């Protein structure tokens, strides 16, 4: 399985956003997705891009919307599968790809009572220790990854939790 390292691309987009911003502090705002599939609170103005990915044999276009604040990337990835079963199967594939991208141990993913898979892992990005916190969920044929990624010491639990809990699929 080959999945582009979305978090790297999201970091580049977020860095561009950060450089264009006057104040890099948290400035939470509600942002709807371009296609109306979800709303989420971003801590800065996000940027979006779409690319084709392979999720364990499922070829789909995935849109990543991300913002960066003080070296921490807040991102939502979303896509549409041909059916609900394929959308559900995309969740562990996205989770495993992100864990591999930071060199973190791939452990068994356990779904919560809402069917979401979670991740809270440490690894390495650009030679630095990083922390990845996120959730993966499917609604019908739509699937989502909602992640926070940054230097381990910079990922503030309350900011990550605010972002993750603000995500509302439509």
Q: Please tell me the predicted confidence (pLDDT) of residue 5.
A: 54
pLDDT tens digits for range 43-86 = 999 999 999 999 989 999 999 999 999 999 999 999 999 999 99
Using the Cα atoms of residue 91, residue 77, residue 49 and residue 82 in order, give the sign of their dihedral: positive
Q: What pLDDT, on a 0 to 100 scale, did the predictor assign at position 62?
A: 96
* Higher-confidence position of 158 and 2: 158
Residue 104 has pLDDT above 70, yes or no: yes
Is residue 18 over pLDDT 50? Answer: no
Which percentage of the chain shows pLDDT scores above 90? 73
What is the value of pTM for the model shown?
Answer: 0.83
Instruction: Report the topology of domain 6-169.
Output: Protein Transport Mog1p; Chain A (3.40.1000)
The token pair that represents 100 in the structure block:
């591999």
For the chain, give every domain's residue range: 6-169
Average pLDDT, the chain: 87
The answer to whether residues 71 and 150 touch, using CB atoms and an 8 Å cutoff, is yes
Residues 105 and 122: beta-carbon distance below 8 Å: no
Residue 67 has φ and ψ, to the nearest 5°, of -140, 150
Instruction: Write down the pLDDT at residue 21.
Output: 45
Q: Count the Cβ atoms, other than its own, within 10 Å of residue 7.
A: 26
Encode pLDDT of 146-159 as tens digits: 999 999 999 999 99
Q: Is the pLDDT of residue 10 over 80?
A: no
Q: What pLDDT shows up at residue 40? A: 98
């Amino acid at each position: 399985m080959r999945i582009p390292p979305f978090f790297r691309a999201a970091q580049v987009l977020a860095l561009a956003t950060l450089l264009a911003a006057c104040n890099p502090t948290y400035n939470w705002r509600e942002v709807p997705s371009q296609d109306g599939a979800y709303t989420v609170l971003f801590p800065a103005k996000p940027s979006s891009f779409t690319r084709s990915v392979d999720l364990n044999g499922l070829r789909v276009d995935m849109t990543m919307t991300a913002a960066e604040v003080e070296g921490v990337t807040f991102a939502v990835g979303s896509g549409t599968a041909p059916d609900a079963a394929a959308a559900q199967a995309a969740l562990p594939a996205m989770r495993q790809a992100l864990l591999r991208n930071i060199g973190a141990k791939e452990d068994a993913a356990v779904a919560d009572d809402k069917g979401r898979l979670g991740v809270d892992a440490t690894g390495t990005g650009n030679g630095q220790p990083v922390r990845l916190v996120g959730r993966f969920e499917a609604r019908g044929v739509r699937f989502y990854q909602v992640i926070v990624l940054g230097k381990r010491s910079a990922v503030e639990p309350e900011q990550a939790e605010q972002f993750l809990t603000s995500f509302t699929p439509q």
